[in-house]
Copies of this chain bind each other. A is one copy, B any other.
Amino acid sequence: MNLKELSKQLNLSQTTVSRALNGYPEVNEATRKRVTEAARKYRYRPNVRARTLATGKSMSIGHIIPMSKQNELVNMVFSDFIAGAGLVYADHGYNMTLTIVKDDDELEAYRGFAERGAVDGVIVQAPTREDRRISFLADLDIPFVVHGRASQIRAPYGWLDVNNKRAIQTATKHLLSLGHHRIAMLNGLETLDFAVRRRDGYLAALREANIPPDDSLMRSNDMSEPNGYEAAMELLALKAPPTAFVASSMILALGVKRAIEENNLEMGKDVSVICFDDDISYLPNAGDTPLFTALRSSVRAAGARCASLLIERINKPDAPLPNELWEAELVHGASTGPGPNA
């Protein structure tokens, strides 16, 4: 059943039926009732393709999630982010159009979205320091919101970020205050902006404590359990192994934990671990005493908020660009204890 047929059934014009259904005021309440009832009766649903063509809005938000070619790793943080965003979209009548691309094709994918009018806006995730996507999207003149920031880019754009530097600085200071002075840092790939900020936080804390940074204690790689494990195994095998680890994600920290145990050491006693916790739903760091001491910030909440900000941007393109910086919360868990200096 389409609009034409329905309006014929009702002896009304398509105009009136359309208006009645879409809540326009210039239609008599009595006829509106007739229309809505007939629509229900005949199970009429406006064809979404025709509607989007007519309105020029696709009522859909684009997410592009890149997959690194080497390891075929999907950043698991994406799924929680998307869950948060998806619910907000649904509430506002938007769909989410998701494209998975190999790294190289990413820019093209965004252009495709924009130029072909497939989506009304896009979310940019995991920006690098001078992320090309940002100016690219600005040129394409499509609304977007960045989850994170690109510190090398001066031109304004909408973003929502966690205060990564302060979070990791706090984490490192916490270890220092516990008496650790040989502290390793397992970071994500430092092409990514957030990783650089976290590194800065780590270095800033060491500097405050007058501890010269030791390159051999700093690692940077994809954030996966095996990478955390391998890095920790290497570090624990040093002549002067670290007594504490700062891990850029909980999944890395799980790898560190495994390495600690395999060395017959005890986490929280022999070796301390603190990590950034995105509060992933299926890997919660919760309970009375959470497994890890961590700096927590919900990536799902961030997804939801980014979605809201983007929808606002779509509706009010001239409103000022949103910029939000969230603080992470320190959670005390079982993975930290006094260091050798305590």
Contacts and interface: CB of A to CB of B under 8 A. Distances in A.
Contacts of A83: 65, 67, 72, 74, 100
A141 to B, nearest CB: 13
A117 B284 contact: no
B46 A49 contact: no
Given A58-B49, A74-B80, A224-B284, A101 B90 contact: yes
A271 to B, nearest CB: 15
Interface of A: 43, 45-50, 52-53, 56, 58, 60, 65, 67, 71-76, 78-80, 82-83, 86-87, 89-90, 95-102, 112, 115-118, 223-226, 251, 254, 258, 261, 280-284, 286-287, 291
A281 B224 CA distance: 9
Contacts of A281: 71-74, 224
A284 B46 contact: no
For this chain, the copies found in one complex come to 2
A80 to B, nearest CB: 6
Nearest to A94: B99
13 contacts: A47-B53, A47-B116, A48-B116, A49-B58, A74-B281, A86-B99, A96-B99, A223-B282, A224-B281, A226-B287, A251-B282, A251-B283, A258-B291
A46 B224 contact: no
A326 B46 CA distance: 40
